[in-house]
Amino acid sequence: MKLAAFILCLLSTIAYGILIIPLIWCVPMTISVYKYYKGDKFLGVGFKVCTLLFVSLIGSIILLCDDTLF
């Protein structure tokens, strides 16, 4: 499920590539989701909610439903 969330965040970041301002939020959040997928980083609920608001609706719902703690 982490891989699906990362792929959806990546697709959203590419789609927002036309607009400069959303990329300020999308690129760092997508990098953090990738680090979470690799197991290097823990994502809190607040970050997942911010991902819901700024990056990807479906990808962040997958992140919120993920039951792993690390």
Where are the chain's structural domains? 2-65
Exposure string of 1-20, with b = 16+ CB inside 10 Å and e = fewer, is ebeebbebbbebbeebeeee
Q: Residue 5's pLDDT is what?
A: 86
Q: What pTM, to 2 d.p., does this model score?
A: 0.73
pLDDT band at 69 (very low <50, low <70, confident <90, very high): low
As a whole number of angstroms, the distance between CA 51 and CA 10 comes to 12
Span 8-66, pLDDT tens digits: 888 888 888 888 777 788 888 888 888 988 888 888 888 888 888 888 888 888 888 88
Q: Residue 68's pLDDT is what?
A: 66
